[in-house]
Structure 1
Amino acid sequence: MGAVKEPRALQIFNTVGSSVNENPTPRRFTATAPLTGRLRVPGDKSISHRSVMLGAMAVGETRVTGLLEGEDVMATAAAMRAMGAHVEKTGAEWRIHGVGVGGLLQPDSALEMGNSGTSTRLLIGLIASHAITANFTGDASLSKRPMGRVIDPLSAMGATFTTSPGGTLPLMMTGAEPAVPISYQLPVASAQVKSAIMLAGLNTLGITTVIEPVPTRDHSERMLRGFGAQVDVGEEAGERVIRVHGQAELTPQRIEVPGDPSSAAFFMVAASLIEGSDLLIENVGLNPTRAGLVEVLREMGANIEETNAREVGGEPVADLRVRHAELRGIDVDPAVAPSMIDEFPVLFVAAALANGRTVTRGLDELRVKESDRLSAMATALTAAGARVEETADGLIIDGSGGEPLRGTIGAPVITHLDHRIAMSMAIAGLVTKEGVEIDDTRPIATSFPAFEALLDEAMT
């Protein structure tokens, strides 16, 4: 696997973070009332990560409002501080004083990534073209996730890696000096892998090229251009080709982070399913590479209206009014998967209550997220009374026709320390007779600390 070496002296790594395994906080979610009023979800996680990273690579002060303050983004902020950037909050604004491209410093200790796969893969890319060595550690869930898909191309650029068995964290990497530009065709669509290579290309002399079989979320391309990097995007032979010109000089920016569509997804599904709901979700980012769930829900019959459409920092944004509607099962086009890959767990909940059969395919990526989300959701929904068949690359769900599911009785749903499984099954609990108990709500804080409070508020 590229320049991966045999694991050696893994005791040099600090212990894998495992605080989330201690003292779990279970909760039973039950139906109470329709979702009404208005709410605003936290800032987009993908854009928040990139705001901090690119702000740290610019010379001067970048100011960010609406930054998601979940544990994942805070892990990114802590890592950038460890490598020389100043990242601090002043009032409602985050201020980032960068070190410039090529200016990252050797961290004094391991970079603790918690549960954040995005932090890990993007930072590995960013550091890969710097002459520093970094140790990456994470919690028990993150430490099961394979890193080979970023290690392979970054090894070709000259970085070297020592991993745990199976290519997982704890992981030590030494960046290349100098890094070599590459042209890399992604074997599977992955915005994280694409972004890791692009970030490595920032400090690499020459042009680094990434070829996508299908388009993935394009926040990195948009934001790199906004910071002043030269990024060329085109299509060749039916594939999307991105070229990053290295030795870039990034200029500081003012960024307003739109609401995260992945967080809004839970409320869109809940309001669609619960009779009497009429909910306005404000300031939702609707980047075309991220908005697949809105279109899929509409295809299922959802009543979702966009109002106050506008552009914020180069990203399309709107308020979404969602009202209860009877949903129908559909055959979900696999081509839509990259634009809603994180939203499939809660889409499965919608399918479990729809009229007829919903078929999903091409979701292999869900097996290597914070958990195997296909298996985890199939097990959890079945325990709640849904009719689910798991296939190699998707789920087939026969909906209840709008009738509440039974809910869970006895043992709680196992969320596998996965925040999206926890939130999806919390929404499922709202459309059951007995409710759904999940084993631990604390992983939710990795991406959506206010989830429970907003959900409770919308139902009062």
Structure 2
Amino acid sequence: VAGCSFFTVLSGDPSLQQRPMDRVIEPLRQMGAYIDGRHNGTRAPLVIRGGKLQGINYSLPVPSAQLKSAILLAGLQAEGETVLMEPVVSRDHTERMLQAMGADLQLEEKVIRLRQGNELKPQEFYVPGDISSAAFFIVGASLVPGSEIILRDVGINPTRTGLITVLQQMGALIQIENKRMISGEPVADLLVRYAPLHEIELGGELIPLLIDEIPVLAIAMAAAEGDSMICEARELRVKETDRIQAICDNLSALGILVQEYADGFRVRGTGGKIKGGRVDSRGDHRLAMAMGIAGLVAKDGVQLSHAEVVNVSYPDFWTDLSRLAGTGDFF
């Protein structure tokens, strides 16, 4: 709406109102948008007065598909050329969609160029299964002895499959079957079997490819053999909650040795012997679902506060988890 000629208020839910929006607002203001809100105009509710936008050259300060998408969508309404430079490649669903609709968008190595002008053509898109939602069951099946599940029609866009790569490096048995392209996106069925996992250290260009899966990856690390570490993931501190702190606090509550760093954490693996305990989602849907997966393998079970927050992205999560685990209702 930054380039539209009307007045808009974007409120967001309580979790979004806690997230700093300055990294999105700053480039939009550079393009000519008027945006104001709480905390010096960086927190929702946000007031937006649409106006004429100009294309900009902008280097993304962090690899963020959300930030990239916001600038590209604004660039559709901006005069001239919008050029984005990425420090590391991030999710590219928006670029694929815009190209399919006929946008004047060119991709170079870590550089995206977009020009206003081409009329976007309506398309029918098939949206594949979300790998970020599938991630919880991929990890769950990898951790529970005797497990074997098939997840059908899952999107395997290479900018989203970092979790599969990492779990396979840890020893997970994940087969990618029936690969095909649908609406410009790669799709496949995933066959996952139980396997003992071992430690791993992660950072660099892998992090943007699994940033939303790190909460459940932390559970895999806690159940693995050896010490695992994640670094260069400071972006986690500006999600629905401070995910680095929340992950570390909840792992500690489950009896796991964990050390928190500014940009990540280190986990002492238990070899599948997670003790269990009382944890809190802190209003973060992904953390809640990760704790649910921990409950599958925790000796003393997991008691989760604010489990209902999964409704943000996956309302049927607890039902599906109970069905796969062959148990009654969770939590």
Q: Does 2:46 align with 1:171?
A: yes
Deviation at 1:259, TM superposition (A): 0.5
Deviation at 1:334, TM superposition (A): 2.5
Q: Does 2:299 align with 1:451?
A: no
Alignment match, 1:277: 147
2:177 to 296, 299, 307: 307
8 Å CA contact retained: 1:334, 1:360:
no
Q: What per-residue deviation string (whole Å, max 9, x for no partner) do you get for residues 200-243 of structure 1? A: 011112211111011000001000011111110002xxxx1101
Q: What per-residue deviation string (whole Å, max 9, x for no partner) do you get for residues 150-189 of structure 1? A: 111000110011110151111111122x211111111111
Q: Does 2:130 align with 1:260?
A: yes
2:58 to 179, 184, 198: 184
Deviation at 1:312, TM superposition (A): 1.0
Deviation at 1:138, TM superposition (A): 2.2
Deviation at 1:283, TM superposition (A): 0.9
Query: Which structure is higher in RCO with an 8 Å CA cutoff and minimum separation 6?
Result: 1
Alignment match, 2:92: 218
Q: Does 2:77 align with 1:203?
A: yes
- The percent of aligned pairs where both chains have the same amino acid is 47
Deviation at 1:375, TM superposition (A): 0.5
Deviation at 1:129, TM superposition (A): 1.4
> Which amino acid counterpart does residue 223 of structure 1 have in structure 2?
M
1:351 to 207, 221, 230: 221
RMSD: 1.0
In 2, Cα distance between equivalents of 1:226 and 1:207: 19
Deviation at 1:406, TM superposition (A): 1.3
Deviation at 1:431, TM superposition (A): 0.8
8 Å CA contact retained: 1:360, 1:396:
yes
TM-score, structure 2 normalization = 0.96
Q: Does 2:93 align with 1:227?
A: no
In 2, Cα distance between equivalents of 1:242 and 1:269: 34
In 2, Cα distance between equivalents of 1:196 and 1:247: 18
Q: Which runs of 4+ in 1 moved over 6 A?
A: none
Q: Does 2:273 align with 1:407?
A: no
> Which amino acid counterpart does residue 452 of structure 1 have in structure 2?
W
In 1, Cα distance between equivalents of 2:23 and 2:142: 37
Q: Does 2:16 align with 1:142?
A: yes
Q: Does 2:7 align with 1:133?
A: yes
1:428 to 257, 275, 294: 294
Higher mean Cα deviation, 129-138 or 252-261? 129-138
Alignment match, 2:196: 326
Q: Does 2:271 align with 1:396?
A: no
In 2, Cα distance between equivalents of 1:291 and 1:273: 19
In 2, Cα distance between equivalents of 1:439 and 1:359: 27
Q: Does 2:253 align with 1:383?
A: yes
Deviation at 1:308, TM superposition (A): 0.8
In 1, Cα distance between equivalents of 2:13 and 2:90: 27
Task: Report the number of matched residues.
Answer: 325
Deviation at 1:296, TM superposition (A): 0.2
Q: What per-residue deviation string (whole Å, max 9, x for no partner) do you get for residues 12-63 of structure 1? A: xxxxxxxxxxxxxxxxxxxxxxxxxxxxxxxxxxxxxxxxxxxxxxxxxxxx
In 1, Cα distance between equivalents of 2:286 and 2:28: 29
Deviation at 1:446, TM superposition (A): 1.1
8 Å CA contact retained: 1:141, 1:416:
no
8 Å CA contact retained: 2:89, 2:205:
no
Alignment match, 1:438: 304
Alignment of 1:80-159 (within 5 A): 127-159=1-33
8 Å CA contact retained: 2:104, 2:117:
no
In 2, Cα distance between equivalents of 1:152 and 1:216: 20
In 2, Cα distance between equivalents of 1:380 and 1:445: 20
8 Å CA contact retained: 1:203, 1:248:
no
In 1, Cα distance between equivalents of 2:313 and 2:84: 28
> Which amino acid counterpart does residue 9 of structure 2 have in structure 1?
N
In 2, Cα distance between equivalents of 1:301 and 1:165: 46
> Which amino acid counterpart does residue 208 of structure 1 have in structure 2?
T
8 Å CA contact retained: 2:6, 2:50:
yes
Secondary structure in structure 1 of the residue aligned to 2:188: strand
Segments of 5+ residues of structure 1 without an aligned counterpart are 1-126
Alignment match, 2:329: none
